[in-house]
Amino acid sequence: MQSPTKIKIPKIISFGRLIGPGGCNLKPIEEETGTHIHVITEAKPPHIEIKINEKITLLSCKDRIKEASDKLKKLMKTIDLEMKNRQKNTVKKKVNNNNHKENHYEKSKRWKENNLKRERIASERK
């Protein structure tokens, strides 16, 4: 029996997104590669263990583990990109909100200046 292969989970990736609802991200990889995939969250650092499913005899053990490892790395890369895009969108929204606040501030400042001008003109006419 081969010892399990371990893959470190990057900090940016949440375990829930990695596993998916009801394991929908990991189960297909297990079925396609004939492996068992376990997410170990209590360890420092958190990691994924890939073991051979002894009941299935598809490819050689090394090939099955390598295929599962490659698919997991691809999944983590996809999740990582999604998280980075979310962070960029959040920053863009904050910038847009700040611009909106500045524009609102500038408008109210201009409004006050215009009111002062009107008051001056009105007082000069009297």
| pLDDT, position 59 | 62
Q: In a structure prediction context, what are the per-residue pLDDT tens digits for the chain, which is 126 residues long?
A: 567 889 999 888 888 888 989 989 999 999 998 899 999 988 888 999 999 887 766 667 678 889 999 999 999 999 988 888 877 777 666 555 555 555 666 777 777 888 887 888 777 776
DSSP string, 53-64: -TT--SS-HHHH
Q: How far apart are CA 15 and CA 32, in angstroms?
A: 21
Q: How many Cβ atoms are within 10 Å of 16's Cβ, its own excluded? A: 10
Alpha-carbon distance of 83 to 116, in angstroms, equals: 49
**What are the structural domains, with CATH classification, of the chain?**
1-88 (3.30.1370.10)
Amino acid at 43: A
Among positive and negative, which fits the CA dihedral 47, 53, 58, 62?
positive
Nearest alpha carbon to residue 9 among 46, 44, 40, 42: 46
